[in-house]
Amino acid sequence: MSMPVNPALIPPGPSGIPAVSPTQRTSRVGDTPSGPAFGAVLREAAAPARSVPQPVVFSGHALQRIERRGITMDAETQRRLGEGVDRAASKGSRAAVVLVDDNAFVVGVPSRTVITAVGRDNMKEHVFTNIDSAVIA
C-alpha cells in the first residue's frame, strides 16, 4: 500500500513544485521598494498625536465660585489658563493649581476641568490639597 504524496511537503525546485512562479514575484534583489520608508512609518506611529488641545471646561461648582467671587473670565484669562493646563499635562500632572494673575484655579488635568476657582481676596483662607503641581500662567 503506497501513501499519497502531499504537495506541500515537496521542496521547491526542479524536482518539485515551484514555491512562487516568476510572474507572481513582487520584488527582486535590487528593486526599489515603493511606499514610505519603514523608519518614517515607525516615527509617525510613535509620535504623539498633534491635535488642537481641547478647551478647558468648568464644573458647576467652579462656575458658582467664579460668579460669587467676581472672578473675570475674559478670553485672555481663558487662553492663559489653557496654556497652564497644557504645561501641567506635558509634565504628567493629574491635579494642578493654575495661577493666572490674582486668581487660582484647581484643575483636573486629564479631563481639563476646572474644579474650583479662588480669587485673591479668598486665597488666604484656603489650603489646596490633593494636587501634584502648581503652574504660574
pLDDT tens by residue, the chain, 137 residues: 677 777 777 777 665 555 555 555 555 666 666 778 887 877 877 776 666 668 999 999 999 999 999 999 999 999 999 999 999 999 999 999 999 999 999 999 999 999 999 998 888 888 899 999 999 99
Predicted local distance difference test score (pLDDT) of residue 10: 73
Helix (H) or strand (E) segment spanning residue 108: strand 103-108
Predicted local distance difference test score (pLDDT) of residue 124: 85
Backbone angles phi, psi at 47, to 5 degrees: -70, 140
Number of folded domains that form the chain: 1
In a domain, 48, yes or no: no
In a domain, 4, yes or no: no
| Residues in Cβ contact with 61 at an 8 Å cutoff, skipping those fewer than 6 apart | 115, 116
Domain encompassing residue 121: 57-136
Predicted TM-score (pTM) above 0.75: no
In a domain, 50, yes or no: no
In a domain, 34, yes or no: no
Distance CA(120)–CA(14), nearest Å, equals 89
In a domain, 46, yes or no: no
Predicted local distance difference test score (pLDDT) of residue 57: 96
In a domain, 37, yes or no: no
Looking at residue 58, its amino acid is: F
In a domain, 30, yes or no: no
